[in-house]
Structure 1
Amino acid sequence: MSSSQNKDYIAMWFQARKAFGIGDRMNVGLLNKTTDDINWFEFSHSKMDGLGGLTTILREHDYPCQDLPQIADKIAPSNWQQIKMLFAGGKSNVAKKIRWKTTFPDYAATNLADNDNSTQYDNSTQYSNSTQYSNDAPIVNTYFTQAETLEIKKLAKKHRVALNIYLFWALNRAVAEQLLASQQDYYWLYPVNLRGALPNTPETGNCS
C-alpha cells in the first residue's frame, strides 16, 4: 500500500485552513418542531463528515443507522490521475471576491464572549454539556412543513432532477437575488466526495 493511500487528505485540508483563521467546527442539531428549539452538537470536521456527525447523534438516540454509504472506488487515484484531474476543469482568472448588497460589523470583533451552550464530541464521540465561547454568528434555521416538502418534491420531479439538486438550485437563486450585488461572477465551493477509498478509517470519518 502506498504512503499516499494512508494520508487523510481531508483532515490535512481542514488543518491547513486553521492557519487562515478558519476553524473546522461542524454543528449538527436536533430540532424540536413544537418549540423550534435546537439542541446543537459540535464535531470536528477534520475527524468526521456531516453524515458521520448525524449518525453519531441518531445512534445515541437508538435510531438504527447501519451500513453508511460508500463510493464504488476501491483504491485511491494514482499520482498521474490526480495530476490529470487538476488540469481537467481548466482555471478561471476571475478574481474570487464577492460584492454583497449589505455588509455588517464583524461578529467575532463585537461578540468576543458570546456564550454557546452546546454539546461537544471528542475523538471517542463521548460528549459533555458545557458553556463554550464562540466567535461565530448565531445560526438561523427554518424547516419545511410536510405539505411544503411534498410540493418541493413534486417540483423537483416535474423538472426531472433529484431533490437535492432542486434545493441547491433554489438556494443559489435566493442567495444571488437577496444577498449579492448584481453583475458579478461568484462561486460555490464544495467537496466532490468525502467518502472515498482511503483504507483503515472509521465509517463516520472523512474517507477521501
Structure 2
Amino acid sequence: MAEKDYLAMWFNVRRKYGIQDTIYWGWYDPKAQNIDWKTWRHADADGMAGFANILRKDGFPCDPLPVCNETSVPGWKEIIKAQRDNPIKESAKTIPWRETYINNDEFMPEVSVINKEQTTLLYQQAKARKVSSGNIIFSALSRVVARELVEGDAPFYWFYPVNVRGATNIKTESFNQASGLYLLVDSHSTAEDWQAQMRTRMKAKQHWKNWKLANLGKLIGERGVSIVYKFTSGKQFYAGSCSNLGTWPLIDARNPPIEHDRQLVAVAPGTANYPVSSCMVDWNGSIALTLKLNPYICRDQTQLKKLLKQWYEEIITDIT
C-alpha cells in the first residue's frame, strides 16, 4: 500500500475553510535588511524537507536529514503508562489577547539576525545553564508577547514542534514528520522553566500522543478529519508556534563553499488559533529569528517590527 501523509490531510482540510498553510522562506541580507519572500505549502513538506529541497538546488546534499533519538512509535498502552508516571499540570487552552482585529490586512514576516559572536555566546550560556538554545530564544519571545499582547497574568500555551524522523518508519522524505508539545507558560517563565516542562512532557510521551492524534486520518479519512476540525477549531486557542529548524547547512564534506552573508530563513503559517508564528534557524554560525503575526492580533506592520526588536533585545539581555 502506498504511503500517505496524514498530517498533510489536516492542512488540505483547513485550506477548504480558508485557512492557508503557506510557509514563507527566503534568503535574508542582514546588511541591506531585505528579502525576496518565496513560499511552499506545509502540506507538501515540513521545514526540514523544505530546506533540503531548496539547498539541493545549490549543491548541498542534505542527506540524510536529521532524525530524532527514538527508533519507533510507541503504542497507546505505553503512552498512557508514561502519562500516568509523569503527571503534568494543565490549564484551559485559551489566551486573553489585549486587542483583536477583524477584516485586517495580512502582514509579511520580519527577520532579525543574532550575529556569530552573539550566537556563540548564546550557545555557551545554554550549555552553562543546561538548557537548549531554543528555550532561551522562545522563552524570551513568550515574555515579550505576554508583556505586549496579552491581558493579565493567566497562563497560556505554545506549540513546540518536535522532529520524529527516524522513528516513524515513513520512507517518503517530503512527508510531514513533525509532532509537537504544548507548553504551558506564564508571563515570567524562563528558559529553565521551559526546559523542565519540556523534559517532563517528553517523558510523558505527549509528542507521540499528538502524533497519533494527528494521524487520525488513517482511520477516519479526510471527511472524518474535516468533521473533527470543525468541532475543535473554535474551542482551543494558543499563543502560537515556536519552530527550531536547527543548524544548516548540514555537516557534509560534499557541501559547496558559502560565498555570501545571507541567512536562510523560514516561518510556519499561523491562524487565529495560533497567531504568533516564530522560527529560529542557525545558518553558517548565525541564528536568524523570523516572526509573523496573524492579523487577528496585529494592528499593523510597525507593531510586528517593534515586537521583533523587543524579542531580539530580550534574548540579548538574557545571555549577557
TM-score range, shorter chain: 0.5 to 0.7
2:136 counterpart of 1:166: yes
1:204 Cα deviation after fit: 3.6
Q: Which amino acid aligns with 2:66?
A: P
The answer to whether the Cα contact below 8 Å between 2:25 and 2:39 also exists between their aligned partners in 1 is yes
CA distance in structure 2 between the aligned counterparts of 1:58 and 1:167, rounded to whole angstroms: 25
Report the TM-score when normalising by structure 2.
Answer: 0.47
CA distance in structure 2 between the aligned counterparts of 1:89 and 1:19, rounded to whole angstroms: 37
Q: Which amino acid aligns with 1:142?
A: S
CA distance in structure 1 between the aligned counterparts of 2:140 and 2:9, rounded to whole angstroms: 32
Give 3-state SS (helix, strand or coil) of 2:36's partner.
Answer: strand
CA distance in structure 1 between the aligned counterparts of 2:30 and 2:163, rounded to whole angstroms: 31
Q: Which amino acid aligns with 1:21?
A: G
Q: What residue is the counterpart of 1:186 in the other structure?
A: 156
CA distance in structure 2 between the aligned counterparts of 1:143 and 1:157, rounded to whole angstroms: 21
CA distance in structure 2 between the aligned counterparts of 1:160 and 1:72, rounded to whole angstroms: 18
Question: Which of the numbers 26, 29, 37 marks the counterpart of 2:23?
Answer: 26
CA distance in structure 1 between the aligned counterparts of 2:127 and 2:80, rounded to whole angstroms: 38
2:59 counterpart of 1:62: yes
2:56 counterpart of 1:47: no
Change in Cα spacing, 1:21 to 1:162, as seen in structure 2 (3 Å) is same
Give 3-state SS (helix, strand or coil) of 2:118's partner.
Answer: helix
Give 3-state SS (helix, strand or coil) of 1:187's partner.
Answer: strand
Change in Cα spacing, 1:64 to 1:193, as seen in structure 2 (3 Å) is closer
1:68 Cα deviation after fit: 0.7
Percent identity (aligned): 31
Which aligned segments of 4 or more residues in structure 1 are displaced greater than 6 angstroms?
A: 82-91
Q: What residue is the counterpart of 1:139 in the other structure?
A: 109
Structure 1: 5+ residue runs without aligned partners? 112-135
1:185 Cα deviation after fit: 1.9
Paired residues, number: 177
The answer to whether the Cα contact below 8 Å between 1:196 and 1:207 also exists between their aligned partners in 2 is no
The RMSD of aligned alpha carbons is: 3.2
CA distance in structure 1 between the aligned counterparts of 2:76 and 2:107, rounded to whole angstroms: 40
The answer to whether the Cα contact below 8 Å between 1:10 and 1:194 also exists between their aligned partners in 2 is no
Q: What residue is the counterpart of 2:124 in the other structure?
A: 154
Give 3-state SS (helix, strand or coil) of 1:189's partner.
Answer: strand
Q: Max radius of gyration: which structure?
A: 1
Change in Cα spacing, 1:52 to 1:80, as seen in structure 2 (3 Å) is same
1:11 Cα deviation after fit: 1.4
1:138 Cα deviation after fit: 1.4
Structure 2: 5+ residue runs without aligned partners? 179-320
* Structure holding more strand per residue: 2
